[in-house]
Structure 1
Amino acid sequence: DGNIKGLSDIIKACLDIENKINDTISPQPDYVLEPNEVNKTIKLIVKSGLQKPYLYKSKAYKRNDSATIEVDTLEFSRLVLEGKNISFEELPYKDQNLTFHFLEEQLEKSIQINSFNLDTLKTL
């Protein structure tokens, strides 16, 4: 009915919550439990961390509208990269023999650039 019921033992409840978090989530999230003796409630404040993804029982989850769902392999990879503060574009490519020959050909055809060099790339 919207009334706060409260907990019978908020100190024990805080310890239970802390143990559940410590036992099931890795890496350890940065959180604070604030017990309120007046209405016998506990406020859980979780700060956004840098060590993403955070795993619950070795699985990563995300909110999808009003549901919590396990992330797929691609989303998990994105979360790992986000946690390392890098993007897919910054990952090293296995075959490092990369050239701009196709770009050079297209520039010669479309805008008649005859001299394709580092200055041309910087201008682009």
Structure 2
Amino acid sequence: MKLDNLAITIYVDETGARIEVRDNDAAVRFLDIKMTAAQFTAALGRQGHVECVGEVYGLDRVGMRREQQDFTFKVLSTDKGVYGDDRRDLARRAALVGCPVGWEPQLYFGSQDSFFFKGKELWARTKRYRWVPLDAESNGT
């Protein structure tokens, strides 16, 4: 598979280096390589096959395109305030239950605009994401 929209970040300090590779279309970091200072120096010196450690993430999303939509949903019906972690926990559960199949909700509810009331109902707003093949047209569902 050929990937045309990658980004690489290299962090270097006195202990070594960390290299991250990201697929910008999928908006996913999929490779994280860690090297000691000696390993990184050897690689920069053109030594081949330098040993290192790494982690791979989200390979099922690499080569895809991430789509995003606003997602607004009812958390609960109440005339009493629910605040802090309790409200965020309720919102996370409601988001997971109410999100359409094939989409994943963003589970961050720390923004001041994350919650609002419609009458006596507590509602939340966030984003939802899905990954589609690069050549597929989105129908918005």
| TM-score, length basis structure 1 | 0.26
| Structure with more relative contact order (C-alpha pairs < 8 Å, separation 6 or more) | 2
| TM-score, length basis structure 2 | 0.24
- The answer to which structure has the higher helix fraction is 1
